[in-house]
A = this chain, B = another copy of it.
Amino acid sequence: MNKYLNSRVILNPNETPKEWVNIIPNLPIPMTPLINPMDGKPASFELACKIFPKSCILQDSSIEESIPIPNELREIYVKTYRPTPLHRAYGLERKIGIKGEGIKIFYKNESLSPTGSHKPNTALAQAYYAQKEGVKELVTETGAGQWGSGLSFGCNLFNLKCTVYMVRASFLQKPGRKILMKAYNAEVYPSPSNLTESGRSYYEKDPEHPGSLGIAISEAVEHSLSDPNIKYSLGSVVNFVLLHQTIIGQELKIQFNKLHIKPDILIGCMGGGSNFGGFIIPYINDKINGVQSDLEVIGVEPRACPSVCKGQYIWDYGDSAKKAPILKMYTLGHNFIPSPIHAGGLRYHGMAPIISILHKKNIISSVMHHQTEAIAAGLAFAQAEGILPAPEACHAIKEAIDQALKAKDNNEKKVIAFNLSGHGFFDLSAYNDYLLDKLIDYELPDIEIHKALTADDMPKINETEF
């Protein structure tokens, strides 16, 4: 068969994975618990279930190596967009001058979901479990809106009400995602709002307050606690979200197996860590148990918010308002305010505990890129492959190109795969700014990070107590 007819590996619906891969039992050190910010002790099962759907909480600390994807949920995955294709980046390889060098670049295309990113992988799962448990409504926060639209999509398909607290600055500046959420029947409020106590404390002083993700999280958590029929939903960071995302890496494995190819380098961008985690986890066991111990796994961060590259592996609050659980993770400090880069999904101060452990134990590595070099790489990708990538995904593309060029220099034949986590149709201003030479590269003074990490209000957790 002509090679191009193999350039997009498409799976049949019945090849959609039947289970998620749980990395927790194979982690080199035990998973740390979620800590209740009110008392500094591990959150009780009962407390956690007040906030999240019970099935998700059970998954969050499960020690089973795999967890079945319920058939009804799998049907919805299939009906809407899964499996997604694996593309060979022939165009990009030619454009960067590595054609004929024996270096292969592949990308998994998560941009084809109805909301344009990997977020529905967990949104559908969370909405499914919530509905099964009789929950009537899911509430969440959103910054730029990628997660909010994913959850709105998921709730709508499972007949749940969805409420989204959207950072007011984004609510006003980025109407597109807000309209999309409303089209999916969600209620979207600019945050800080006057609907919650957390919001009112800001709103009453300034009804035009631009808001922050920290405030929006506080509002959503408070909203969820107001009624037992309402649960809170998270789009990244926690274990069960990464679990749901492993459908990506599971498919990737099937696709590479069909090509009789093993990837040498896996690359993904890291914000809270969910697309990266979902992409790599099914391969991590192979690396840990020695089946493929030389596999390189690289997480890419923006220089404006390098949680892993420049943060510390410590206990920290999940949000700036200190209402969400305390996690042991790489963090820049919950008071850290990242610069306004276009990759809104990469602006979280912390990193998923699972990813943090893998990094701490040197199973994965991390790099940083400036947004200008990331968007430049994304533009080269768009021109070579035809797909306009989200600014977040541009960071992975930049690293994939760098790795390919390095392999060429070293005369090595590498197979490089990265996760195209989403498309850039809602982020055209990033490309416009780049084309007009108006993108700003934010570099962080180490002093700022130090200040955030040593703030007086960092949590004091005594691990020996649990």
**A residues lining the B interface (CB < 8 Å):** 1-2, 4-8, 10, 12-14, 16, 71, 75-76, 78-80, 87, 90-91, 112, 114, 116, 153, 156-157, 175-176, 179-180, 182-185, 379, 382-383, 385-388, 425-426, 428-429, 431-432, 435
Contacts and interface: CB of A to CB of B under 8 A. Distances in A.
A179 B8 contact: no
A184 B382 contact: yes
A388 to B, nearest CB: 6
Secondary structure class of chain A's binding surface, majority of residues: helix
A78 B180 contact: no
Identical copies in the complex:
2
Given A176-B428, A425-B426, A386 B182 contact: no
A383 B383 CA distance: 33
Nearest to A13: B5
B78 A425 contact: no
A79 B90 contact: yes
A463 B453 CA distance: 83
A78 B2 CA distance: 11
Nearest to A433: B179
Contacts of A12: 10
Q: Which 7 A-B pairs have CB atoms at the shortest separation, nearest pair first?
A: A4-B75, A179-B428, A114-B386, A7-B79, A5-B13, A179-B432, A425-B425
Nearest to A6: B13
A5 B1 contact: no
Contacts of A4: 75-76, 78-79
Contacts of A13: 5-8, 10
A434 to B, nearest CB: 9
A383 B183 contact: yes
Contacts of A71: 2
Given A80-B385, A157-B386, 19 more contacts: A2-B75, A4-B76, A5-B14, A7-B13, A10-B12, A10-B13, A79-B87, A79-B90, A91-B157, A156-B383, A175-B432, A176-B425, A179-B429, A180-B431, A182-B431, A182-B435, A183-B428, A183-B435, A185-B383
